[in-house]
A = this chain, B = another copy of it.
Amino acid sequence: MPATIRDVARHAGVGVGTVSRVLNDSPAVSTQTRNKVLKAIAALDYSPNVIARRLSLGKTLTIAVIAPFLTRPSVVERLRGVESVLSQTEYDLVLHNVESGNRYEAYFRDVPRRERIDGLLVISLRPPEAHVRRLREYGGPTILVDIAHPDFSRVVIDDVDGGYKATKHLLDLGHRRIGFLSDFTDSSFHFTANRDRFRGYEMALAAFGIEARADYSVHGEHSRESAHEQATRLLTLSERPTAIFATCDTLATGVLEAAQELELSLPEDLSIIGYDDIEIAEYLNLTTVRQQLFESGVRGGELLLEAIESSPDSPREIVLPTELVVRATTAAPPEC
């Protein structure tokens, strides 16, 4: 059995209060006594029981992260950012991975409880409206990363601008028929990013006096295979787009595949632009819109720690910019 604080107290010939004071760096301990206690701690290989400490403090020293789809590199990058902040603190990071709709509901119902966690950080998932009240009232802060909601502090990416930049880049190159390919804009997980990117796409087109064509906007599941299919649909239209904006790099790989299958050469016959700038994008020489994935996690973690210290009265919003990264998959459209 591990030693307890009372064992240490007995061994050092002092009271438990004194040991606790030494452990918590209270100044009200004489150097002599402190040394005695430290010696006893070393002799017994004592380390405090965090569970007891938490109960006594009335804090769980635990924060939960709800993240969807660890299969997505972008989510993992954000998670790394969060972890890097929390690992420097006393807080434990408990991970909840959401890959199905029922777990999604269940987590938002069961996780936010004062008795369980001191704070909650949600990555890329919109909280179900039915549980918003609980999230606001459970007693700890809720921070969103890569999702906007007026009730919560959040780190968001300026996806409208990102979509705008991507589309503007293509327009500037001379493209006028630009396809938009995303995964479901309104699945049960309520991603908002795609909708925003689409708005940026529309705005850029509008700035060039072009109306978005319904048949140029397609979406399917979040997978290369699905993107491959959807891109094939776009590229076999009688008047096919000369460029395709895919709302993430993974989808863009599906577009690349489809183009290859149709024997279109890049970037002469077709321009492709992705989104995220995940690691593979550089390898593929994919033009893309970079967003600060790791950084978004870091900022989210920081927001959360601040909010735990001093619950702010109104939600804060941090907006991270995007950056166009031009590589080899975009160029002027073919003559025709």
A40-80 interface (Cβ within 8 A of B): 47-52, 54-55, 60, 62, 70-71, 73, 76, 79-80
The reply to whether B47 and A113 contact each other, CB–CB distance below 8 Å, is yes
In this complex, what residue of B is CB-closest to A115? B49
- Which residues of B lie under 8 Å from residue A87 when comparing CB positions? 96-97, 103
Interface bits A67-108 vs B (CB < 8 Å: 1, else 0): 000110100100110011001000011111100000100000
The reply to whether A114 and B257 contact each other, CB–CB distance below 8 Å, is no
User: With A54-B51, A224-B283 in contact, is A97–B80 under 8 Å at CB?
Assistant: yes
Distance in Å: Cβ of A38 to nearest Cβ of chain B:
18
- A271 CB–B CB distance under 8 Å: no
Interface bits A19-56 vs B (CB < 8 Å: 1, else 0): 00000000000000000000000000001111110110
Distance in Å: Cβ of A200 to nearest Cβ of chain B:
27
- A287 CB–B CB distance under 8 Å: no
In this complex, what residue of B is CB-closest to A65? B95
- A209 CB–B CB distance under 8 Å: no
- A213 CB–B CB distance under 8 Å: no
- Partner among B48, B51, B96, B116 whose Cβ is within 8 Å of the Cβ of A60: B51
Distance in Å: Cβ of A67 to nearest Cβ of chain B:
10
In this complex, what residue of B is CB-closest to A71? B80
The reply to whether B47 and A51 contact each other, CB–CB distance below 8 Å, is no
- A173 CB–B CB distance under 8 Å: no
In this complex, what residue of B is CB-closest to A96? B87
User: With A73-B73, A87-B97 in contact, is A52–B49 under 8 Å at CB?
Assistant: no
- Partner among B54, B97, B113, B283 whose Cβ is within 8 Å of the Cβ of A2: B113
- A280 CB–B CB distance under 8 Å: yes
- Which residues of B lie under 8 Å from residue A47 when comparing CB positions? 113, 115-116
Distance in Å: Cβ of A151 to nearest Cβ of chain B:
20
User: In whole angstroms, what is the CA distance A253 to B253 when docked?
Assistant: 15
- Partner among B115, B224, B283 whose Cβ is within 8 Å of the Cβ of A257: B283
The reply to whether B55 and A83 contact each other, CB–CB distance below 8 Å, is no
A103-162 interface (Cβ within 8 A of B): 103, 113-116, 139
In this complex, what residue of B is CB-closest to A98? B87
Query: Considering the complex of A and B, which 4 residue pairs feature the smallest CB-CB distances, nearest first?
Result: A49-B115, A92-B94, A51-B54, A51-B55
Known A51-B60, A87-B103, A93-B95; 16 more pairs at CB < 8 Å: A2-B115, A47-B113, A49-B55, A51-B55, A55-B55, A70-B79, A70-B80, A71-B76, A71-B279, A76-B76, A83-B97, A87-B97, A92-B94, A95-B95, A253-B283, A257-B283
Q: Which residues of A are at the interface with B, using a C-beta cutoff of 8 A?
A: 2, 47-52, 54-55, 60, 62, 70-71, 73, 76, 79-80, 83-84, 87, 92-97, 103, 113-116, 139, 224, 253, 257, 279-280, 283
Task: Give 26 A-B contacts (CB < 8 Å), ordered by A residue.
Answer: A2-B113, A2-B114, A2-B139, A47-B115, A47-B116, A50-B60, A50-B116, A51-B54, A51-B55, A51-B60, A55-B55, A70-B76, A70-B80, A71-B80, A76-B76, A83-B95, A83-B97, A87-B97, A87-B103, A92-B92, A92-B94, A93-B95, A224-B279, A253-B283, A257-B283, A280-B280
